Structure 1
Amino acid sequence: METATERTTVLCTAELIEENGRFTLVVRDFVRDTVQRAEVSGGAVDRLPYFLSLLRSKQRAGY
């Protein structure tokens, strides 16, 4: 019997880096071969769990 195999492809990664009290978000896009960096406020970092919960709720709603 033949079985289907799942294939995983990483399209992009995101890292949040803290250095000397400053936060930098680094997004690597492997499809477009680009890297973007943005300084992020501490308040935005504190709200990341909220932003992620919004994304999860949109997925459940079919968006």
Structure 2
Amino acid sequence: MRSIAVSYGAVTIINAIATGKGSALGIDLETKATVELNDSGRITAKIRKAPGEDTKLMKLCAR
């Protein structure tokens, strides 16, 4: 099975957890991801436009 997802960017202005007040705004950035599922049970990830970047968060979210 193959699927595509898009995540849009946002920026936190003030950390509402610490202060009880805060806000966030959307920014004009997006990340597109393609996933292919098979029966191997392995999770591999790569970033096409930045192949040297760390992919630990991608793998963690895919679990």
TM value normalised by structure 1: 0.31
- Name the structure where helix makes up a greater proportion of residues: 1
Whose relative contact order is higher, 1 or 2, with alpha carbons under 8 Å and at least 6 apart? Answer: 2
